């Protein structure tokens, strides 16, 4: 079901791109925006593991480290190649997975997470991250980011065209500047909403698969609650560009900003996990 929802959301994002592209730039405008978006995101997809691990000063650990041995055991259960394992020198509890495919994956956890969680809770977190690897969520998020970036690029072009009365579809009908301006203003917000919704669906899916890999949903459910509580006391100084990668968004807020959040509410995730028992 989560796969169908993700596919539907990606379809909606693509439809938004086609709509604004057809309204403003026609086929040539869509092609230019899409090519630029691909160029921007392919690099981040291909080198994401090296970039983000260096950003957080992560150090690789080997078979002598308990986290490595735990990850090896869980990767075997998930029928995955052994990923590289890293420790992030930060006392805020969190973790993420990265890498472009099953054979080039990495799992990273903060020192804070290893200190405050019990072994079953750490297992739940690592199983969740391996589920992201299993589901190829880095690829899915890269596709969503590419289309969203293309939408926003076209929207910026459309705003410029509406303000200065230029551009159009290349036919005789032209474009109403007011309609074009409204579309250009609304489209980026719609793209961000859909992109965030895709990320939330992938988090729910990783929670479910992670519970299967760990053998129980309880470890992850308890870990999520403890991570949220401890993160409020010791927030993680994370880049907004990488916040979606962590098991819990480092700077989660409520209200309207929750609509743009890349992570579901913690209690919603916990209840979904408890329902698996």
Q: What is the pLDDT of residues 226-249, one digit of tens each?
A: 999 998 899 888 776 677 789 998
Contact status, residue 25 vs residue 32, Cβ threshold 8 Å: yes
Tokens representing residue 171 in the block: 């036919």
User: Could you confirm whether 129 is annotated as catalytic?
Assistant: yes
Contact status, residue 94 vs residue 85, Cβ threshold 8 Å: no
Contact status, residue 53 vs residue 87, Cβ threshold 8 Å: no
Name the helix (H) or strand (E) containing 85: strand 84-88
Name the helix (H) or strand (E) containing 210: helix 177-214
Q: Is the pLDDT of residue 133 over 50?
A: yes
Task: Report how far apart, in Å, the C-alpha atoms of 54 and of each of 2, 51, 58, 59, 220 are.
Answer: 32, 5, 6, 9, 27
Taking residues 176-182, report their average pLDDT.
Answer: 60
Q: Where are the domains of the chain?
A: 2-274
Q: Which stretch, 54-58, 97-101, 106-110, 143-147, has highest mean pLDDT? A: 106-110
pLDDT given for residue 147 in this prediction = 67
User: What is the spatial distance between Cα 101 and Cα 170, in angstroms, rounded to a whole number?
Assistant: 41
How many residues in total does the chain contain?
277
Tens-digit pLDDT profile for residues 10-63: 566 666 666 666 555 555 656 666 666 666 656 666 666 777 888 899 999 999
Q: Which one of the listed residues 60, 111, 123, 129 is annotated catalytic?
A: 129
Which pLDDT band, with edges at 50, 70 and 90, does 77 fall under? Answer: very high
- In the block, which residue shows the tokens 């969520």? 137
pTM reported for the whole predicted model: 0.75
Contact status, residue 110 vs residue 133, Cβ threshold 8 Å: no
Helices (H), the chain: 2-24, 26-55, 66-77, 111-116, 119-134, 137-164, 177-214, 218-233, 266-274
pLDDT given for residue 172 in this prediction = 45
Task: Report how far apart, in Å, the C-alpha atoms of 137 and of each of 9, 62, 112, 168, 258 are.
Answer: 14, 25, 25, 36, 21
Tokens representing residue 101 in the block: 């495919």
| Closest C-alpha to 67, from 114, 120, 121 | 114
Contact residues for 52 (Cβ-Cβ < 8 A; gap 6+): 96, 98, 242, 245
Question: Up-side HSE of residue 228: CA atoms within 13 Å toward CB?
Answer: 15
In sign, the C-alpha dihedral spanning 30, 32, 36, 39 is: positive
């Amino acid at each position: 079901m989560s796969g169908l929802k993700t596919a539907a959301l990606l379809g909606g994002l693509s439809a938004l791109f086609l709509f604004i592209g057809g309204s403003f730039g026609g086929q040539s405008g869509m092609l230019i925006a899409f090519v630029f978006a691909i160029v921007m995101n392919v690099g981040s997809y291909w080198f994401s593991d090296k970039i983000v691990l260096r950003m957080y000063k992560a150090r690789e650990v080997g078979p002598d480290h308990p986290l490595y041995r735990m990850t090896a055991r869980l990767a075997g259960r998930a029928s995955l190649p052994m990923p590289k394992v890293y420790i992030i020198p930060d006392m805020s509890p969190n973790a993420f997975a990265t890498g472009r495919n099953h054979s080039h994956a990495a799992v990273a956890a903060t020192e804070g997470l290893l200190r405050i969680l019990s072994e079953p809770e750490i297992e739940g977190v690592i199983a969740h991250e391996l589920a992201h690897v299993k589901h190829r969520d880095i690829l899915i998020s890269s596709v969503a980011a590419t289309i969203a970036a293309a939408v926003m690029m076209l929207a910026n072009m459309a705003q410029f065209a509406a303000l200065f009365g230029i551009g159009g579809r290349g036919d005789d009908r032209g474009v109403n500047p007011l309609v074009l301006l409204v579309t250009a203003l609304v489209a980026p917000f719609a793209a961000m909403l859909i992109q965030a919704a895709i990320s939330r669906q992938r988090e729910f899916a990783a929670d479910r698969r992670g519970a299967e890999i760990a053998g129980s949903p309880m470890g992850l459910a308890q870990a999520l609650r403890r991570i949220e509580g401890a993160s409020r006391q010791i927030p993680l100084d994370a880049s907004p560009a990488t916040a979606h990668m962590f098991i819990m968004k480092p700077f989660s807020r409520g209200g309207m900003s929750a609509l743009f959040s890349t992570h579901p509410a913690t209690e919603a995730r916990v209840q979904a996990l408890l329902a698996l028992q």
